[in-house]
Structure 1
């Protein structure tokens, strides 16, 4: 009986040791639904990071650990997002990468904060996420404030635009983007020649475009999505407005050409997306893309390198703290400087990425073509 008791104690101790040596990384994104391809891309990036950590025997405080993925699907739905977040909190994951969209990231953030679990979104850009005041909330891409300001600088200094009209679709995204864009113009001493608004379901822009035409703009900035921007571009042509159009990621897809009735000309539209790498980081990104394709048999969509870097930044913070316990490594995560594939991962006081970059695009032959990376 004594030997059996000792054996039970030994097995129990082994079980505790195993639990202590396992680091659980939660991931949440839309794995089903219309944007599931982006969700899968994000999850694949996390898988690659976990594979890399296990392959090199990454340690925490000098102790070898096993890294595991705990995946959840929020289907791009805010209610499903909070359910998924609660599941991960109940599972006592050590960190969360996600969610994919701002609409799912923001409501889930409170649950992670209440549980004290650090959350890094690899793709949510709405400023409200890090303005919630949670010390557990981080992101590794530029937010819409950074994007709007950078577009304003590019419009004036590079494109040489002098007479700029602005339109927003009255959504939080559209209004926020236009606000930051016009703030940037004001700082450069430029006042818009017109300020108009529509809505995200509108199809007729004759009235606002007629008013804008009177200001003879050389650039129209639109805060909204391509489903509205495309038809607007077509009606600009019909009214003889020869201005260029600029916008954020909402208009940054090849769908712009068919939505414009094939009236969009080469170089007429300039748009931007959060993310991208500068010249010095291209070799590393090319290698990541090649490794990704070899591992999964498909090309990177957008998010994978950011979710990959998010995991490795967390691992670096855990190692520095000598612990995978969220309360122990969270202070180190807040001041981490990790040299990632997408650039240096470092956060400001709000949890936003420092010196976040964005990629500018135009369209040639109806297809999105990169112009370059800026801040």
Structure 2
């Protein structure tokens, strides 16, 4: 999921009007002579996330943040002669829809890269098509470790899966381990009931948590799986009550996490409920009457506490009524990373967008490095963010309150 003074990248571009290319369409510049009266090349950035349905609060905060980055780049003329445009598509948190959206982006010759999606399972339907099309993808929310490092990562056999996939969110390996360490060492909880929603994100996060928690000496006193579409969890709640669990750890997202937490407490098991960034939404306490004291983790430091994020937050609040939510800052940085890659590709092509823009933008991604909203932004050899800052939160007075942040390295 995060210093830039005035949010401008530092690379200096060779000036000159841009011409029509294979990627990007040329429109007359109607702004009085700001670009020397020449033409502007329209470069489209795709965006994919759930904009309707249960997870739309997260998706809309992401879309707004991507749009704000595009508006800022255009206003500040970050890439001389280029006008950026955002093409947002709704994947409804469904892999099949995400796959269809991927084909729409690929068929639009103006699209040089895509921001998103929210869900790791949706990303799995998009990665190969994007890879085959040399179309850069940057997710601010996908945390499934296998997306970048392959299924063998647990055994130390890390292999980059797709050259086109990058992310500004750290992995479930990092997040699960951080959560286990926080719960065992900071919260002093030794017995946990483990639940996941069987989806790519939730199952992976729960598995990472379990490995570290038991290695530290903690005990998993029970384990269960739920359907993320269900809202009646009384049978699972009864099982939790019948154990010696001191906390519940849940791998999943807030629409199911909220009623699950509430029903567990209503069953008589008055213990904290903990989850990851998919649960750490402003919607969670709104949907959970018993949320007080629940715990969550999220990637990055709290954006609202970062000096580097002050301008972003002010501009966001001025332009949008919806909350920026968990992934807002990371989405802004993901979008800016793509803008910087375009800028590098243009600067290395005598101030013009290359004919093979998608390939050149992809090649530029390995050189991207800047101080963003969430901190330093760059990517390692797998496409993973080099920023492994994690934060633990607790619900206080029906709001998430940050408790502890750390630049966490996998065990």
Aligned: 1:41 with 2:61 = yes
Matched residue, 1:282: 306
**CA shift in 2, pair 1:15/1:212, >3 Å:** closer
**CA shift in 2, pair 1:218/1:175, >3 Å:** same
Residue in structure 1 matching 2:116, options 87, 98, 108: 98
Deviation at 1:274, TM superposition (A): 3.0
Q: List per-residue Cα deviations over 1:60-92 (Å, max 9, x = no partner).
A: xxxx33132141423423233222221221112
Number of corresponding residues? 350
For 2:69 and 2:52, how far apart are their aligned partners in 1? 22
Matched residue, 1:272: 297
Q: List per-residue Cα deviations over 1:286-310 (Å, max 9, x = no partner).
A: 3211111223355423333222212
Structure with the larger RCO, 1 or 2 (CA within 8 Å, 6+ apart): 2
Matched residue, 1:74: 90
Aligned: 1:360 with 2:378 = no
Aligned: 1:143 with 2:168 = no
Matched residue, 1:306: 330
For 1:259 and 1:27, how far apart are their aligned partners in 2? 28
State the TM-score, normalized to the length of structure 2: 0.73
Q: Identify unmatched segments of 5+ residues in structure 1.
A: 1-12
Matched residue, 1:342: 374
Matched residue, 1:7: none
Matched residue, 1:85: 102
Matched residue, 2:81: 65
Kept after mapping to 1: 8 A contact 2:59/2:118: yes
For 2:77 and 2:123, how far apart are their aligned partners in 1? 31
Residue in structure 1 matching 2:206, options 166, 173, 178: 178
Kept after mapping to 1: 8 A contact 2:277/2:326: no
Kept after mapping to 1: 8 A contact 2:247/2:274: yes
**CA shift in 2, pair 1:160/1:120, >3 Å:** same
Deviation at 1:33, TM superposition (A): 3.9
Q: Identify unmatched segments of 5+ residues in structure 2.
A: 1-17, 27-39, 151-160
Q: List per-residue Cα deviations over 1:193-232 (Å, max 9, x = no partner).
A: 524214234431366335522xxx4333233455366446
Q: List per-residue Cα deviations over 1:223-259 (Å, max 9, x = no partner).
A: 34553664465445645x4543322235435666686
Matched residue, 1:292: 316
**CA shift in 2, pair 1:185/1:105, >3 Å:** same
> Alignment partner of 1:73: what SS?
strand
Matched residue, 1:192: 219
> Alignment partner of 1:285: what SS?
helix
| Higher alpha-carbon Rg | 1
Deviation at 1:161, TM superposition (A): 2.2
Kept after mapping to 2: 8 A contact 1:254/1:366: no
Q: List per-residue Cα deviations over 1:97-149 (Å, max 9, x = no partner).
A: 12233233221222211110111012223334324600100111123222111
